[in-house]
Structures are given as C-alpha cells and as structure tokens.
Structure 1
Amino acid sequence: MTITYKSREEVPLKEKWNLEDLYINLQKWEEDLKMIELLANELKTFDGAIHNGIQLYQFLTTQEKLSYKFNHLFAYAMLKVDEDTRDTTSQSLLERARALSVKISSATSFFLPFLLSLDEHTLKKYIAEEKGLTYFEKDLFESFRYKKHVLSKEQEALMSQFGEALSAPANTYAMINNADIKFGEVTNESGEKVELTRGMYSKLIEDENRDKRKEAYKAYYKPYLQMKNSIASTLAAAIKNNVTTSKIRNYPSALEKGLFADNVPKEVYENLIMATKKHIAPLHQYSEFRKEKLGLDELRQYDMNVPLVSGVKQVIPYDKAYDIMLRALAPLGEDYVNTLKDFKKARYFDVRETPGKRSGAYNLGVYGVHPFILLNHQDDLDSLFTLVHECGHGVHSQLSSQYQPQITARYSIFVAEVASTVNEVLLINYLLDNEENEKVQRHLLNHFIDKFRGTFFTQVMFAEFEKLTHERAEQGEPLNVEVFNTIYETLLREYYGDTIVADEEMKYGWARIPHFYRPFYVYKYATGFASAIQIATNLLKGNEETLYNYLEFLKSGSSDYPLELLKKTGVDLTSPEPIKNSLAKFKELVEEFSSL
C-alpha cells in the first residue's frame, strides 16, 4: 500500500531533492538576483553601442553569463513553489524571478532588431575581427531565419513589456489547477468521506469496483465543472494571445509559429493527424473489446483505465521500481545505468505526493548543476513507467550538458519525448520477457496498450483540438465553454468510437489539460513515441550502430534541428513510415491481446 504523507516534513530526506545544489541558502539567491539586475543594466548600455566585433562579443558573453545565473535563480524559485504551491514565500520568489525576466527581456529587446539590420557581410567582418565570436556564429546566423518575424527596435521593446501579461492566463490556470482546486469527496476503505487527491484518483480510476471508479470520476471532475467558465476564459485568452502574437510577428498561422523554432514543416503535424485518423480502426476495436471484456451494457469514460486482467495489481515500492528500471535499461549500456545510479545517490528526485505539491511529474535540467526530477510516486506500475520516462529526460539533460557548451546544451522539446519513450518501450519489453506468469503477462500487455493509447492517440487528439481552437480564433469566431465542449466531444467520438457513452463530465476533458497553455506542444509526445518505437526495436535487436548513434543523439543537445538529429538515429519523420509503423504496432498489440 502506498504511504500517504500529511506533510513534506514526514517524507524521508533520501526521497526529497537537494536544492542546496542550486543555492546553499536564500542569501545566495538574493545575491544572484542583485548581480543579474546589474548585468541586465549593463546589457542596456550596448543599445546603439555595438559597432565592431569586440563590442558584439562583449554583449554576447555578458548575456550568456546573465542567462547562466538567471536559469539557476528561476529554477530554484520554481522548484520551491512546486514543493508546496500554497507557500507564499516561495510564490514571492517566483514572482520576483518572473519580474526580473521581463526586465531582462526589456534590456535585450534591442538586440535582435539590431542583429537583423546587419547584412551578412558585416556580420562576417565582425566575426573575423573577434575570434571569440566563432562560438556564437551558428546562433547568430540562425537568427536571420527569424528576420521577417522580428519587429522594429521600438516595437520589440514594447512587446517585451507585455511578457508578464501574456503569460497571465497560463499562470492563472496553474494556480487554479494546483493551489486552489478542491476535488469532491470519495469513500475511503473505512467508509468515511475524504477529499479526493490526484494521487488517489490515479489509483481509484483503475479500481475493479465500478462504483468506486464512478465516484472518483465524478469527484475529480466536480471542480472543473464548477469553474468551467473561469477555465474556459483562461484557455480562450491563452489561445487568443498566441494567435495575436503570431499575427503581429507575421507568421501565416499560430501553428506555423509553434513549429518554426524546430524548423518542422506544418505537413509533419497535419500528416500525423491524418495518418492516425486513417488507421484509427484498431482503437475503436479496442474500445469494443474493453466493453465486452468488462461485461458492460454501456462503456463509460471511467471504464477506460481499469485493467482488463483482474487480480494482478502490482505494488512496486519506489526502491524496487528503481532497481527494475536499472535492469530494464541495460540495453543502453553500463555508462547509462551508472549515471542513473548516481542520480539516486545524489538526491536528484522529489519522490512523494504531499499536500500542495505540484501534480504530475517532470524533469528540469539546469546547466552547470544537474537535472531535478519531480515525481508523485504511488508505488504502482504507472509510477514505475513515470519514473523510467522522467529518467529518460534526466539522462538526456545530463549528457547534453556534459557534451555541449551552454549555447547548444538545451535540447528541443521535440526530441525530448524520444529519450523518455525509448526507456518506456525498453521497460515493457523487459517486464514481458521476465514474467513467467501468463496472467501477469496479459496484464502488462494490456498496460502497454493503454500507455500507447494515452501517449500516442490521446496526444494526437489533443493536437487536433489545439489546431481547431486556434483556427477558430484566427477566423474571429468565439471561444467559450460550449465551443470547447463541442470540439472536444466530437474528437472523442472520432478517436475512440461510438462505443463510449457520453456523460456530462466527458466533454469537459479540455479543462484539465495544462499542456494546452503551451501551444502545439503535445503532438511531440506522439512523434516522440513513433520515433522511440523504431529506435527501441533496433536497440533490442542488439544493433551496436543504433546504440552508438542513439547515445550520440542524447549528447547532441540542440546542435542541429530536431528532424536532422533524429535522422542520425535512423528515424525520418518527414516520411510517413515511423507513424505507420507505430500504428501497425498498435494493431498488432490489440490483436495479440484480443486473441489471449
């Protein structure tokens, strides 16, 4: 049984991350804040004063020094807030860090318009004058790609002032979703009514008792229905902000703005949706099979996560989960496994759910320090997969930081999901290969199908929701509760079929998705999953070339565009093959499971 902690103080030290690796005390944080403010003021003095390579180099090195310090400062504030989102002291640190971010943006807003006012010949002359600029050369010329999307110096200065206001919808939703939200009540094992938590929900929605699932489902959605208008307002504002910014910056659409940094053609996004819908039949069949296997007259949303193989619910304590992970990832080599052993010893993790702690899980790589990994571990199979997933991100961060200079150490989100999902595919293969009990094997197969469904199909559905809602905003059409409900419910039917009977809560799924406040992000889970299936398949064949290329990919940071980095691993997402292969794999899994 999972241990429930009533406060953060109860959690053992070894299961809490060590933020002293960032700042030994608050005084050091305050000292860095003052230093960053001085550096920001110094950067301002370069406005109109860059006339040669030496001055350009001085500006860029000062900016990189500031960036290094600010990333540490912001990471500390964010991690402190996420430990307990109710803590006003931590909130204050984060607010000050955000305000400082706006000040930095304002101080440097002149630079991109200045850079793009130069011709290529002048920039090359500056680089010839100051050899140190070769470090920045690729980045400088990459900026020219943005030329038609950068405004005048005065307009950029004005836009930088709106940074905090434009992020307000996302920040407001984060506070609603993490700090303010109160779920309904559920009945505990003693028959008492207790307030539902997210951690409890993830367990109860898989309970074999249908009444418990229904009760948890209703309690979980209760606050989202109560706050539907407020949440619809924050989401509509976030979408409209993005659409407006895209227009101001001369992008053909918000979608193309979202794909521009990664240099991904919109066809990759659109083909992902089209290919998935074209081959959606196995997912519909799986819904029908689920209804039949559960012996239900009506399949409801709260029936979609209960395991179809009963009596094999596994309790996997955190330490055991970690050991399983180390064995499962052996195909990635001894160095990879040893890196993860070091992660645990050095307390890079914050493991347990506690009141006020941010929900979910993430990895935050901090250049010059190390990754910090937030978990809400529940001692179950899902938590094992989450651990393996986030450690994929963590090692990716670690290796990119070790092998890349600061300027290219931070990898694109597009490639991030590859590293995490390769780990998940290796884990499921390890678990299936090392399980002799046929019933447990069926349970694991069922679990992987549901994981596939959530990481691939659901994310593609979310990606289409984003596309459709942004297109409505671009056409000047209203966005409100009814519009979001209609779009979301229609997509649910298209993706999951008519087998599922709709209830009032089902169409409000959009209200609980924080990723919608990071536009055109979720599709990367699906492309990452498809890429990972291909890479992991080759790794499991013992292909040494694949292993070498994949580890090189993990060390590459952002040294090339994401699609190019993936091509080096043997995955070409500009072709439909990786997507088609993944969909064929899903069909194969459903057929195998159905036959059992």
Structure 2
Amino acid sequence: MTITYKSRVEVPEKEKWNFEDLYKNLEDWENDYLWIEKKTAELKKFDGAIHNGESLYDYLSEKEEVSSKLNLVYVYGMLQADVDTRDALAQSLVDRAKQLSVKISAASSFFMPFLLSLEESTLREYIEQEPRLKYFEQDLFEAFRYKAHVLTKEKEEILSNLGEALSAPSHTYSMLNNADIKFGEVTNDEGMKVELTRGMYSKLIEDEDRDKRREAYKAYYQPYLQLKNSIASTLSANVKTNTTLARLRNYPTALEKGLFGDMVPKEVYENLITATKANIGPLHQYGSIRKKLLGLEELRQYDLNVPLVPGVKLEISYEEAYETILKALAPLGEDYVNTLKTFKDARYIDVRETPGKRSGAYNLGVYGVHPFVLLNQHDDLDSMFTMIHEFGHAMHSWYSSKHQPRISAGYSIFVAEVASTVNEVLLIHYLLERETNQEIRKYLLNHFIDQFRGTFFTQVMFAEFEKITHEYAESGKPLNANVFSEIYESLFRQYNGDEVVFDEEVKYGWSRIPHFYRPFYVYKYATGFASAIHIAEQLLSRDESAVNAYIEFLKSGSSDYPLELLKKTGVDLSKPEPIDNALKRFEQLISEFAAL
C-alpha cells in the first residue's frame, strides 16, 4: 500500500534531506552570501591586471573559491524550494543566489576575452612560471577551443548581465508546471471527485480500467490545453534565445552549439535519429501486439502505458526496493554496493511525494558534501526503477568527487545517463533471472520493453522535435502553439505508427516536457541507453576487467571528453554499432514477448 502524506511535517525525518549537511542555519548561509558578494566585487581588480603566472593563478583560485561557495548557497535554496515549491522563503534564497550568479558572471566576464587574446606560447610561459597553474591547465587550453565563439569584453559583460532575463522563459515554465498548474478532477475509489496529482496520474494511466485511464488522461492534459498559448510563448522564447545566442557566438547552428561542449560531432545526433527511424518497425509491431492483447478496436495514447499482463500488481515498499537494488547491483562490486547502502541512513535521499514538492526525480552531487537524491516514491515497480536510476547518478557523483579534484569532478550529462541506465538494465536482469512465475516474468519483460520505448525511442522523437523547432527559428519560420502541435503530431505518428488513434490531446504533448527548456539534452538519454546495454552485458558476464573499466569510468568525472571516456568501457558512439546493437536488442525483446 502506497504511503501518502498530506504535508511534509508528517514524513519521517529519516526519509527527508538533512539540510544541515549544507548549512547549520540561515545565518551561516547569509554569512557565505555576504562573503561571496564581497569577493565578487574584488574579482574586478584582476581586469587588466593579469601579467604573469602568479596573477593568473591568483585570479583563477579566487574565482574557483567564489564559484564553489555560490554552488552551496544556490543548492541550499534550491533543494528547499524543490521540496515545497510554494515556500516563499526558499524561493527568495534561490532568487538571491541567481542574482549573485549574474554578478559573478559580470565581474568575471573580462576573463575569457583576455585569455583568448593571449598567444598559446604566452600561456605556456605563465604555467612554467607558476607550477600551481598545472591544476587549471586542462581547462585553460580547453578554453582555446571556444576562441571563435567568445565575444569582445564589452559584449560578454552585456550577455552576463542579461543572464537572469535570458533564463526567464525556462523559469516561467517551471513555475507554471510545478507551482501553479491545476489538473482536472478524477473519480476516486469511493466515487468522489478529487483533483488529480502527478503521482495519481502515473498510477491511473497504468490502470487496467480503461475508463479510469481515459478520465485521468483528459484531466491531466486539461490545464496544458488551457495554457497552450502561454506555454508556446515560453517555449518559443526559449528556442529563439538559444538560436540567437548560437548566432551571436558564431556557431553554424544551435545544434552544433549544443554539442560543442562535449565535442560530439553533429553526425552522432543525426545518425541516432536516422538509425532509429530506419529500424522503427519493431516499435510499430509492439503497437499491434498491445492493441491485440488489450482486446481493443482502437489503440489510443492512454492505452500505451497500461501493463499488458493483467492482474500483476507489484507493491514494493521503499525498504524492500532498497534491499533489492543492493542485490541487483552486486556485479558492480562490494565497494559500490556497500557505499550505496550508507546513503539511506545518512539522509541523502528525500523520499516521499508531498503537496508542492517538485515532480519527478533527480540526483544533485555537491562536491565536498555528498549526493542529494530527490524521489516521489509510490512503492511500486516504477518507483524502484526510478530509485536505481537516480542511485546510478548518485554513485557517479560519489566516485567522481572522491577521485577527482573539484575542477574535473563534475561530469557531462552525456555520460551521466550511462551510469543511471546501466543500473536499470542490471535490475531488470536480476528480476528476470530470479522470477519463476510466468505471469510476473511476462510483466517484467513488458516493463523492460516499455522502459526501452520511453528511454530510447521517445527521447529520440523529442530530440528530433528539438532539431526541427530550432531549424524553424533559424530560418525565420513562426513558432506558436499550432506550429509546435503540427510538428509534434507528425513525429508522434511516425514513431508510433498507424495503430494509434489520435485524441485532441496527443498533439499538445510538447507542452508538458520540461526537458525542452534545456535544448539538445534528451538525445543523451538514448545514446546513454544504447551504451548502457553494451556495458551491462559486459558486467553480467562477470568479466573482472569490464567491472574495473566501468568503475574507472565512474571515477573519471570530466577528466576527458565524453566519447573518449566511453571508449574506455568499450563503447564507441562515433560508429553505428552501439545504436544498431541496441535496436537489435529491442527487436529480440519484441520477438520474445510475442512468443510468450
């Protein structure tokens, strides 16, 4: 039975974050805030005053100290705002931290133009003069890659000062989607009308009663249809901001700007879409299987998430899920498992859904502190998969923070999704290997197929949506609710096939995807999933060298470019094999399921 709480006060302390791990009290936070403010003003003294290795080191070390403290100040407010988006004090802390971030950007905006004005030989001289600069060497030379994309000192300062304004579309959507949105009503088990919540929706959309699914679907999309023009305005502004910045910074396209940091060729992105659409047949076949097994004359969007094996309701408590996860991750070795075991009692995890809490789940690794994992636990199979996914991120943060200096401890989102998805694949293997009940085995296989569809195919569809919408903006075509809907509907039909009969709501799917406010991000779920399939199979073969290579990968942070880090695990995404192999694996799963 899923535990529900009417307020955060009711949740046991052991299932809530301990904010004192960041700051003992608000006074300590305020002291750090004032210190950052003072030090930020002092950063300006370096403008025009860096003439040798020592002064360059002094600037870089002071800037790093300010940035690391800002991270703590920002995270403290953000985490509290996320557990209750209605908390005005927490929101004010976030707003103040954002304003401080803008000030830091403005105070340090001189540096990149200065650095790129140097000859490479001069920079090497500085590093020889001041051995402590070795710590910053990789980042300094990485900056030279951006030479063609950095503006004059004056223009960089203007863009820095506009930082808060440029992030307004994303912030506005976040407030709409998390704090202000009111879903329609659904009928509860007692026959009473109650307001739908996201947590309820994730349950009801999988309910075997089709009327309940339809009712929940209509109630869930109701506010998105009502707000479609407002949301289209925020999304359009976000896309146009991104394309404008790409143009100002001399990138050929917004897509190439999005891939530049990870040094991923645009061909990797385009090949992902091309290969997926060329092998879309098994996904369409799955639609036909779903329609047949559900005994439907028409398959609709609200039929795409209900498990195809009726009568299997797996209720898994938080404690039981945690124990199962630890066993499933045994192939990763004792150190991995024993470390993860400590996270629960140390209160690194905020577990329960409560009113006002941010939806979904995430991990936030804080260097020098620990990972913070947000969940909205519902004591079911999906919740267990969400947990193990976020624990993959958390352990990646843990290992990188322990084995990398601050400057390279953070890791690219590109490789982040590998760590989380490897965990999910290990869990499904563990469950299928031990389950003897045929109905539950079919249920789990169905779950894996749906996970594959959501983490791979849906994300590729989203990636293509982003590519098209940015191309529209770049060519001066209008972007509004109708245009977004036309693009989304067309793609949904291509990916899901002719079996799905469209309700009016389908084409407004774009309006409920927060990831679209982080352009060219979602494709990494798909590349991460394909990479994880390969890595997990190596780990399950109990190949000791594969385990060591993977743990080394987790320890690597951002010490190399993502594609190079992945090559150490045996995955080369510059070639088609990882994507092709993942698509073949999906085809096998469909065949296995069809046979059952």
What amino acid maps onto 1:267 in structure 2?
Answer: E
| Structure 2 residue 537 is matched with structure 1 residue 537 | yes
2:107 aligned partner: 107
2:441 aligned partner: 441
1:589 aligned partner: 589
- Specify the SS of the correspondent of 2:189: coil
The structural deviation recorded for 1:17 is 1.0
1:3 aligned partner: 3
1:26 aligned partner: 26
1:142 aligned partner: 142
1:266 aligned partner: 266
2:572 aligned partner: 572
Mapped to 1, the partners of 2:520 and 2:339 lie a distance apart of: 32
Structure 1 segment 222-261 matched on structure 2, within 5 A? 222-261=222-261
Mapped to 2, the partners of 1:20 and 1:540 lie a distance apart of: 39
What amino acid maps onto 2:114 in structure 1?
Answer: F
What amino acid maps onto 1:546 in structure 2?
Answer: A
Mapped to 1, the partners of 2:57 and 2:41 lie a distance apart of: 17
Instruction: Give RMSD over aligned pairs.
Output: 0.5
- Specify the SS of the correspondent of 2:573: coil
Structure 1 segment 80-479 matched on structure 2, within 5 A? 80-479=80-479
Mapped to 2, the partners of 1:98 and 1:209 lie a distance apart of: 46
What amino acid maps onto 1:226 in structure 2?
Answer: Q
What amino acid maps onto 1:410 in structure 2?
Answer: G
2:77 aligned partner: 77
Mapped to 1, the partners of 2:19 and 2:441 lie a distance apart of: 40
What amino acid maps onto 1:168 in structure 2?
Answer: A
The structural deviation recorded for 1:242 is 0.2
Mapped to 2, the partners of 1:193 and 1:345 lie a distance apart of: 38
Mapped to 2, the partners of 1:151 and 1:453 lie a distance apart of: 42
Mapped to 2, the partners of 1:336 and 1:305 lie a distance apart of: 33
The structural deviation recorded for 1:313 is 1.0
The structural deviation recorded for 1:557 is 0.1
The range that moved more, 560-569 or 339-348, is: 339-348
The structural deviation recorded for 1:198 is 0.3
- Large movers: runs of 4+ above 6 Å: none
Write out per-residue CA displacement over residues 101-121 of structure 1, whole angstroms, 9 at most, x where no aligned residue: 000000000000000000011
Mapped to 2, the partners of 1:521 and 1:362 lie a distance apart of: 15
- Specify the SS of the correspondent of 1:45: helix
What amino acid maps onto 1:294 in structure 2?
Answer: L
Mapped to 1, the partners of 2:536 and 2:148 lie a distance apart of: 40
Write out per-residue CA displacement over residues 489-535 of structure 1, whole angstroms, 9 at most, x where no aligned residue: 00011001010001100110000000000000000000000000000
Mapped to 2, the partners of 1:417 and 1:125 lie a distance apart of: 39
Mapped to 2, the partners of 1:90 and 1:340 lie a distance apart of: 29
Aligned length: 596
The structural deviation recorded for 1:189 is 0.6
What amino acid maps onto 2:312 in structure 1?
Answer: V
1:14 aligned partner: 14
Write out per-residue CA displacement over residues 227-269 of structure 1, whole angstroms, 9 at most, x where no aligned residue: 0000000000000000000000000000000000000000000
The structural deviation recorded for 1:49 is 0.5
Write out per-residue CA displacement over residues 352-411 of structure 1, whole angstroms, 9 at most, x where no aligned residue: 000000000000000000000000000010000000000000000000000000000000
What amino acid maps onto 1:204 in structure 2?
Answer: L
Mapped to 1, the partners of 2:447 and 2:568 lie a distance apart of: 31
The structural deviation recorded for 1:42 is 1.4
Mapped to 2, the partners of 1:349 and 1:322 lie a distance apart of: 12
Mapped to 1, the partners of 2:44 and 2:505 lie a distance apart of: 51
Mapped to 1, the partners of 2:135 and 2:89 lie a distance apart of: 39
Write out per-residue CA displacement over residues 252-298 of structure 1, whole angstroms, 9 at most, x where no aligned residue: 00000000000000000000000000000000000011001100000
Mapped to 1, the partners of 2:81 and 2:358 lie a distance apart of: 8
Mapped to 2, the partners of 1:585 and 1:516 lie a distance apart of: 28
Write out per-residue CA displacement over residues 56-102 of structure 1, whole angstroms, 9 at most, x where no aligned residue: 00000001111111111111111010010011111100000000000
- Specify the SS of the correspondent of 2:186: strand
The structural deviation recorded for 1:153 is 0.5
What amino acid maps onto 2:559 in structure 1?
Answer: S
The structural deviation recorded for 1:130 is 0.6
Mapped to 1, the partners of 2:31 and 2:72 lie a distance apart of: 12
TM-score by length of 1: 1.00
- Specify the SS of the correspondent of 1:186: strand
Write out per-residue CA displacement over residues 520-555 of structure 1, whole angstroms, 9 at most, x where no aligned residue: 000000000000000000100111111000000000
What amino acid maps onto 2:576 in structure 1?
Answer: P
What amino acid maps onto 2:190 in structure 1?
Answer: S
Mapped to 1, the partners of 2:39 and 2:569 lie a distance apart of: 40
TM-score by length of 2: 1.00
The structural deviation recorded for 1:421 is 0.1
Mapped to 2, the partners of 1:585 and 1:147 lie a distance apart of: 42
Mapped to 2, the partners of 1:521 and 1:274 lie a distance apart of: 18
What amino acid maps onto 2:17 in structure 1?
Answer: W
The structural deviation recorded for 1:223 is 0.3
What amino acid maps onto 2:272 in structure 1?
Answer: L
The structural deviation recorded for 1:3 is 1.2
The structural deviation recorded for 1:4 is 1.2
What amino acid maps onto 1:17 in structure 2?
Answer: W
The structural deviation recorded for 1:345 is 1.5
Mapped to 2, the partners of 1:370 and 1:457 lie a distance apart of: 33
Write out per-residue CA displacement over residues 4-24 of structure 1, whole angstroms, 9 at most, x where no aligned residue: 110000001111011110011
What amino acid maps onto 1:360 in structure 2?
Answer: G
Unaligned residue ranges in structure 1 (runs of 5+): none
Write out per-residue CA displacement over residues 33-74 of structure 1, whole angstroms, 9 at most, x where no aligned residue: 001111111111100110111000000000111111111111
Mapped to 1, the partners of 2:307 and 2:278 lie a distance apart of: 27
Mapped to 1, the partners of 2:13 and 2:138 lie a distance apart of: 44
